[in-house]
Amino acid sequence: GIQVEQSPPDLILQEGANSTLRCNFSDSVNNLQWFHQNPWGQLINLFYIPSGTKQNGRLSATTVATERYSLLYISSSQTTDSGVYFCAVASSNTGNQFYFGTGTSLTVIP
Amino acid sequence: KAGVTQTPRYLIKTRGQQVTLSCSPISGHRSVSWYQQTPGQGLQFLFEYFSETQRNKGNFPGRFSGRQFSNSRSEMNVSTLELGDSALYLCASSLGPASSYEQYFGPGTRLTVT
């Protein structure tokens, strides 16, 4: 299968700070998504980004498929950004099933 | 448009019993995937159904099975429950095969096995 590594595993920020979350993967992928899991367990879609750059409000993401990594940027963080951020990938080389990283746990303090 | 719905939301079962979980995808979505989330193993892929056919299966024992109906609704079944099956079970739907389309997740079913 594909190895998906996320860093850092834990992050504590002051409200208003910026952060960068990283996702490295071990094979070429045809699908990559970023999710935010809220305290009730719901996975919220952030970005569908197998390649390129996208922005949505205070969040943006970049995937450099040739170098096998993706970055999620959070600017002007708010307490509601707290939670776990997951990167998930799928590859036709490994049966097209999805592999999730272990997540980055973000805590934003007021 | 309604999101992915899962029923029941919470479930408590005893070892040795069996359980059936249900997932209704977003209208028009033809693929449904199932995942298990535990503190120790994280999020793991169980299986994917597309147009009523199992397209992919993760590394889980045969006690875990699923099916998809003609209206794209899906069920997963776990037989002979073990304590280790306690987990949050998440389903996701996508327009087409999950590997090529954006997936959307339901709220999950939290299963506790005692």
Please report, in tens digits, the pLDDT of each residue of chain A (110 residues total): 899 999 999 999 999 999 999 999 999 999 999 999 988 899 999 999 999 999 999 999 999 999 999 999 999 999 999 999 999 999 888 778 899 999 999 999 99
Structure confidence at residue A92 (pLDDT): 81
* Adjacent-strand bridge partners of B11: B111
Give B20's pLDDT tier (boundaries 50, 70, 90).
very high
**Residue at token pair 């327009």:** B95
Name the CA radius of gyration of chain A, rounded: 13
- Chain B residues with CB under 8 Å of A96 CB are 55-56, 97-99
Residue B1 has pLDDT above 80, yes or no: no
pLDDT attached to residue A39:
86
Pairing state between β A104-109 and A10-14: parallel
pLDDT digits (tens, 9 = 90+) for B38-58: 999 999 999 999 999 999 899
Q: Which residue has 């999020």 as its token pair?
A: B43
Interface of A with B in 1-60 (CB under 8 A): 30-31, 33, 35, 40-43, 45, 48
* Full DSSP string of A11-49: EEEETT--EEEEEEESS--SEEEEEEE-TTSPEEEEEE-
- Using the beta-carbon criterion (under 8 Å), do A103 and B42 form an inter-chain contact? yes
A105, with CB counted inside 10 A (0-12, 13-18, 19+), is: middle
Residue B81 sits at φ, ψ, to 5 deg, of -55, 140
What is the number of residues in chain B? 114
Gap from A68 CA to chain B (nearest CA, Å): 17
E strands present in B1-114: 5-7, 10-13, 19-24, 31-38, 42-50, 53-57, 64-68, 74-78, 87-94, 104-105, 109-113
**pLDDT > 90? residue B2:** no
Q: Which of B35, B55, B103 sits opposite A33 (nearest CB)?
A: B103
Chain B residues touching residue A102 (CB < 8 angstroms): 42
Confidence of residue B28 (pLDDT cuts 50, 70, 90): very high
Name the residue among A31, A43, A103 with its Cβ closest to that of B90: A43
Q: Which of residues 61-100 of A touch B (CB under 8 A)?
A: 86, 88, 90-92, 95-100
CA neighbor of A100 nearest in space, from A10, A23, A11, A8: A23
d(CA B15, CA B80): 7
Nearest to A96 among B42, B56, B92 (CB): B56
